[in-house]
Structure 1
Amino acid sequence: MKNITDFEDLLVSKYGQKETESRDQYDSGSLAFQLGLMLKEARQQANRTKEQLAEKTGTKKSYISRIERGLSDIQISTYNKLIEKGLGKHLNISIG
């Protein structure tokens, strides 16, 4: 029988326990990546290009691209602006 490692065990072995510097860096990068994917999916569903989204929100295409690739941290107010003003959708946040 093979040993099965759950995802949390894998993260601990690679990045350490939660609330350590290396784990915090991983977690923040993971969040940026997830937010980027959600923005990209919403943009594509709205049939907008990165250029159109940038123009509508007063940002640059390169900034949109960095967000979508998870390479840029983003403030919630900026993310909300991209979603609401740029895509005409509403941003809902929940804590679970």
Structure 2
Amino acid sequence: MKEHITTFDEHLDARYGTIGTKERANFEIKAKAFAIGEIIRDARKEAHLTQEQLAERTGTKKSFISRIENGQSDIQLSTLYKLMEIGLGKRVTLTIG
């Protein structure tokens, strides 16, 4: 018999564990890395830059930009600032709530 899941939170609980578990934390970290990569990709495309051009502007490698955009690499805040502010001319603000 299938579980009856009615909300997205219930789905996440069933698949990745409840909030506060190691499994759920790992999922949340990967989801945020993916979202940051999407933001960087969108900003890069809006600036009409290739991954290689962004890498050159920021002193990184194209492969690193690719891994970040695909959510496959953790990114330090200093690197995020460098990519967005130096590489793409955007301003980064951080909110913790």
TM-score normalised by the chain length of structure 2: 0.91
Using the TM superposition, name which of 84-93 and 51-60 deviates more: 84-93
Match of 1:77 in 2: 78
Q: Which consecutive residues of structure 2, in runs of 5 or more, have no partner in the other structure? A: none
Match of 1:91 in 2: 92
Task: Tell me the number of residue pairs that the alignment of Structure 1 and Structure 2 aligns.
Answer: 94
Report matched runs for 1:1-96 at 5 Å. 5-96=6-97
SS of residue paired to 1:22 = helix
Q: Do the aligned partners of 2:40 and 2:84 also contact (CA within 8 Å) in 1?
A: yes
Aligned-residue CA RMSD (Å) = 1.2
* Structure 1 residue 95: Cα displacement: 3.1
SS of residue paired to 2:31 = helix
- 1:12-31: CA deviation from partner (whole Å, max 9, x where unpaired): 00011111111111000000
TM-score normalised by the chain length of structure 1: 0.92
SS of residue paired to 2:95 = coil
SS of residue paired to 1:95 = coil
Letter in 2 for 1:72: S
- Moved runs in structure 1, 4+ residues, more than 6 A? none
Give distance in 2, aligned partners of 1:29 and 1:68.
12
Shift in CA distance, 22/4, structure 1 to aligned 2, threshold 3 Å: closer
